[in-house]
Amino acid sequence: MESIDDLFQRLEQLNEVGAALSSERDIHRLVEKILVAAKDITHADGGTLYRMTEDGRALRFEIVRNDTLGIALGGSSGNPIKFPDLPLKDAQGQPNNSMVAAYAAINDKTVNIADAYIEAGFDFSGTRKFDERTGYRSQSFLTVPMKNHENEIIGVLQLINSLDPQTRAVHAFSASEQRLVESLASQAAIALTNRHLISQLEVLFESFVNLINLAIDEKSPYTGGHCQRVPALTMMIAEAVNVTHDGPLSGFQMTNADLYELKIAGLLHDCGKVTTPVHVVDKATKLQTIFDRIGLVDTRFEILKRDAQIATLRRLLDMRTKTNPEAESACWAACWKELEVLDAEREFLRRANVGGEAMTTEDQQRVRDIGTQYTWRNPAGVDADFLSADEIENLSIRAGTLTAKEREIINHHIVATIKMLEALPWPKHLKNVAEYAGGHHERMDGKGYPKGLTREQMSLPARMLGIADIFEALTAKDRPYKPGMKLSQAIDIMKKFSAGGHIDPDLFETFLQQNVYRRYAEAFLDPSQIDEVAP
């Protein structure tokens, strides 16, 4: 006979379990808490929690526990459950009412069995075989359907062998225990449904994030990989900081929720690039817009060479009335020399167009001289400067392939990113996404953009994202304007950035000490890029 105190204690347990279920985020730990709570409240020796399959045709084993036999499958145990699903219909399409768990789900009815060996109406042959194999005695069963707030059966909670706390003797589950488990099953069903819905929303949300990255990828194959690699490297840095026990970062820890927030920020850090024109993002050479205009420059050189030859031939024709081999030879020599000069000028502009090396002041002046000292007759029949002002500006770019205006367009992507992310109604656990994602182009010395933040004004996760963004860009092998750097070269540049106030020195030290750069390289870089890094 249950005492009032025992009943109150169990009710208190039930209340505590209800509160715990509502706060659990991991669905595997959630089902484990449900089963363990049911076992504790009823003093059951074992139990199983089944969940309805997506198609609603069967019950799937989610977690199995048996204290006497030391069985722990599913949940947080790490041990997989290899039992087949329990079908709700037999081979003839009839309800599978012979199996007690299936019966409870099909009929939405609790089944309380005192002794399975003498119970009629259910097939316990599998249970008997299990007992024969293990020496166990499965006796009392309490099988409760789990129904959510939409009146849907989402699973079944089954307990085995209620034990007397003092004697450990097996007895039937009492009526009060049945009511407690039914109440728990109801709370658990709602918690599971809510968790499942939240998980679906999280998957949907991440799918939308990946959709944005796919849109960027489709716009430009040169940046799509960047949107995937930067968050991966950011998480490597965060995990390295978490295991750091010495130095200035030893007291900093990120929870799973913090890491998830940073992951989302990493995935969205360049979402503003959906607003960046493709011809700027993909600008592989200085004269490239929709196409590389160096071909037009080549054509003009061919026109100048043609004009030079035509002029020579005209002069030779003027000599036909008198024979002067020396004068003819001098004409051709002058022509070949002019053609040679034009070929040299063209080769120089082709090299300048690549943008691989920083241009000297002399080279920039040479571009301007070529642009103005030659003229060519354009398709309208008008003599024009050999290079337009826009072409001179582009070919004179000191480093890289972008003009100052184009660099502003590229830089604007971070402003667009911040505007887009700050416009979203972020839930509490993702409230820092905009700040993390929006800070990856800031510098520790306040010379970054768009806000010119200093190290003290930035969060540590935002600084992590900044290091990941730079290192990925240096080593990426899919950029149109440069090959991927070797590991040692990229690390040397990062060391200068650390010393020069560009990136966080403490984070960079962890980046080196924890060999984050090498783990990233082994996962994402071409083997030819991986070399020895000087200490």
Q: Name which of 43, 42, 87, 39 is nearest 63 in CA terms.
A: 39
User: 319-323, 368-372, 517-521 — which one is most confidently predicted on average?
Assistant: 517-521
Angle value at C-alpha 119, between 115 and 124, nearest 5 degrees:
90
- DSSP classification of residue 502: S
Sequence-separated (6 or more) residues with CB below 8 Å from residue 7: 176
Tokens of residue 310, six digits: 């035509």
CA–CA dist 241, 251 (Å, integer): 9
- According to CATH, the superfamily of the domain at 220-276+412-529 is Hypothetical protein af1432 (1.10.3210.10)
In the chain, the amino acid numbered 230 is: V
Asked whether the beta carbons of 261 and 459 are under 8 A apart, the reply is: no
Contacts of 30 (CB under 8 A, 6+ apart): 21, 24, 191, 192, 195
Give rounded-to-5 percent helix, strand, coil for the chain: 55, 10, 35
pLDDT digits (tens, 9 = 90+) for 6-52: 655 655 665 566 555 665 567 777 778 888 888 988 899 999 999 99
* Residues 140-175 pLDDT 10s: 999 999 888 888 898 999 999 999 988 999 999 999
339/308 Cα distance (integer angstroms): 8
Nearest to 59 by CA among 91, 107, 105, 92: 105
pLDDT beyond 90 at 69: yes
Query: Is the pLDDT confidence value at 414 over 90?
Result: no
Give the number of other CB atoms < 10 A from CB of residue 395.
27
How remote is the C-alpha of 422 from its chain's centroid? 20
- What is the rounded CA–CA span in Å between residue 56 and residue 54? 5
For the whole prediction, is pTM greater than 0.85? no
Q: Which amino acid is at 58?
A: A
Q: Domain ranges in the chain?
A: 4-198, 220-276+412-529, 294-401
Instruction: Report how far residue 497's alpha carbon sits from residue 508's, in angstroms, rounded to the nearest whole number.
Output: 10
Pick from 283-297, 358-372, 378-392: least confident: 283-297
State both tokens at 434: 């905009």
Looking up tokens 């049945």 gives 178
Distances (CA, A) of 161 to 7, 71, 260: 19, 15, 41
Domain with residues 4-198, CATH architecture:
2-Layer Sandwich (3.30)
Question: Is 30 in contact with 192 (CB distance < 8 Å)?
Answer: yes
Strands (E), 79-122: 86-87, 111-113
User: With 70 as the cut, is the pLDDT of residue 211 above it?
Assistant: yes
| Average pLDDT of the segment spanning 468-490 | 82
**C-alpha dist (Å) from residue 420 to 230, 261, 325, 413:** 19, 17, 76, 10
Cα separations in angstroms, 412 against 34, 405, 422, 445: 50, 11, 15, 20
More confident residue, 445 or 295: 445
Q: In the numeric block, which tokens belong to residue 507?
A: 């984070």
Q: What is the average pLDDT across 206-232?
A: 77
- The answer to whether the CB of 429 falls within 8 A of the CB of 437 is no
